[in-house]
Chains A and B, each alone.
Chain A
């Protein structure tokens, strides 16, 4: 059961709630916020590449997750990333998968 199901309105994901420039900011430090998002997209893409998926920032408000054939889904925050990734690529995204870890260790 996902505790994020059934939430109305904007959600505050825990990963967005660290008092650090670019994270957990509202209307200040816009450049830092965009930089942090760009960094998140970059790191996420190194992980998602193995599943044939790419993530892109959308207007600094959402993210767009896409397959190589263009099938896409808009996600709000990290809480929705992995369930959406599994739906789009049709397999499980398991960080404890030996092959997945081995690839990351080589990088």
Chain B
């Protein structure tokens, strides 16, 4: 008998632009033992579903969503499909899958999928969002990132980035694409699909991103400073989607931070593609990790310990067209601890002594 069904079944989202190799990667993933117990939802754009013919494993736990763009039908069809799978699993009509992989269409904004899982009253008690895996085509990726906002959004919300077709592209092009992806999403580990040693299980392994045990991402810390891509004349490359890291000396006031972030997301949620950070909270020994995608903020994780001696709060924002300078000023004005920082050895006591000793 297979292992017990997890309390909250993870749902992985496989996204990536049209023709970026999502289905090819899915076929490989499904052949991997780590995903042998996954149910699959495939979403197709267009009247005739073709993608599922490319995936060899067709069984009861594979569902084809045929009405087209996932983002439009997400509240209905996707939620219904997942609930249907859940119901069948409970009744023993399908094998007891322990994971769901949703392959989105190439034009979909991935956010509504995550949002559906968190917002649907049934789904949120049985499922949780797992890693978002985004494929980026090495041959056309750069152009797509320059041209299509969807492509940027897909890269920005990724927990794992997979560059496909790197064997077909120039080494220089792959390097340039990697740098570009680092700017959009400085944290997500980046793998090459053509790499024979690619660890497919690591793509769905969430442990480093949860970090409740102090583990860090492959890059050391998920708030590594983003690389700055420059044009031939040395100026920074203009792009609406930017990421930046804020490091704070002062501790964060959790209450004020909550008020500030909800205010920011209420007004600009669609343009805050990602917010991820580790916060030094006033009055707390242990750090709190926060993680949000657009309007959706995951439950904060209380980490067991600080990963190193650095006690500064660090937050990565990936934003689409927001004024970075204003965002930093706003954060500092509202979310930090307002208690004045006293220098060591404040001059109050000597003054008091002087008063007492004076006649």
Q: Which listed residue, A17, A79, A83, A94, touches B299 by the CB 8 Å rule?
A: A17
B297 interface contact, C-beta 8 A: yes
Given contacts A20-B281, A96-B323, contact A78 B262 (CB under 8 A): yes
Q: Report whether B326 and A96 are in contact in the complex, using a CB–CB cutoff of 8 Å.
A: yes
B259 interface contact, C-beta 8 A: yes
A7 to chain B, nearest CB (A): 6
CA A107 to CA B338, docked complex, whole Å: 9
A-B contact pairs, 26 of them (CB 8 A): A2-B295, A4-B119, A7-B119, A8-B121, A14-B258, A14-B300, A15-B258, A15-B259, A17-B299, A18-B254, A18-B281, A18-B300, A20-B283, A47-B260, A78-B258, A78-B262, A81-B262, A81-B263, A82-B266, A83-B266, A92-B267, A93-B263, A93-B266, A94-B267, A95-B334, A96-B267
Q: Report whether A96 and B334 are in contact in the complex, using a CB–CB cutoff of 8 Å.
A: no
B312 interface contact, C-beta 8 A: no
A61 interface contact, C-beta 8 A: no
Q: Report whether A95 and B295 are in contact in the complex, using a CB–CB cutoff of 8 Å.
A: no
Q: Report A-chain residues with C-beta under 8 Å of the C-beta of B338.
A: 107
0/1 string, B120-139, CB within 8 A of A gives 1: 01000000000000000000
CB within 8 Å of B: which A9-57 residues: 9, 12, 14-15, 17-20, 23, 36, 39-40, 43-44, 47
Of all chain A residues, the one with the shortest Cβ separation from B326 is A96
A contacts with B, residue count (CB < 8 A): 39
Q: Report A-chain residues with C-beta under 8 Å of the C-beta of B296.
A: 3
Q: Report whether B334 and A47 are in contact in the complex, using a CB–CB cutoff of 8 Å.
A: yes
Q: Report whether A43 and B330 are in contact in the complex, using a CB–CB cutoff of 8 Å.
A: no
Q: Report whether B299 and A96 are in contact in the complex, using a CB–CB cutoff of 8 Å.
A: no
0/1 string, B258-288, CB within 8 A of A gives 1: 1111111011100000000000010110001
Q: Report whether B333 and A19 are in contact in the complex, using a CB–CB cutoff of 8 Å.
A: no
Q: Report A-chain residues with C-beta under 8 Å of the C-beta of B263.
A: 47, 81-82, 93, 95
B118 interface contact, C-beta 8 A: yes
CB within 8 Å of A: which B105-150 residues: 112, 115, 118-119, 121
Q: Is the interface of B mostly helix, strand, loop or mixed?
A: helix
B contacts with A, residue count (CB < 8 A): 42
CA A44 to CA B253, docked complex, whole Å: 12
Q: Report A-chain residues with C-beta under 8 Å of the C-beta of B311.
A: none
Q: Report whether A7 and B121 are in contact in the complex, using a CB–CB cutoff of 8 Å.
A: yes
B302 interface contact, C-beta 8 A: yes
Q: Report whether A105 and B329 are in contact in the complex, using a CB–CB cutoff of 8 Å.
A: yes
Q: Report whether A39 and B255 are in contact in the complex, using a CB–CB cutoff of 8 Å.
A: yes
CA A4 to CA B296, docked complex, whole Å: 9
Q: Report B-chain residues with C-beta under 8 Å of the C-beta of A79.
A: 262
A18 to chain B, nearest CB (A): 5
CB within 8 Å of A: which B288-309 residues: 288, 290, 292, 295-300, 302
Q: Which listed residue, A6, A9, A39, touches B119 by the CB 8 Å rule?
A: A6
Given contacts A101-B330, A104-B333, A105-B333, contact A23 B119 (CB under 8 A): no
Of all chain B residues, the one with the shortest Cβ separation from A78 is B262
CA A23 to CA B121, docked complex, whole Å: 23
0/1 string, B80-122, CB within 8 A of A gives 1: 0000000000000000000000000000000010010011010
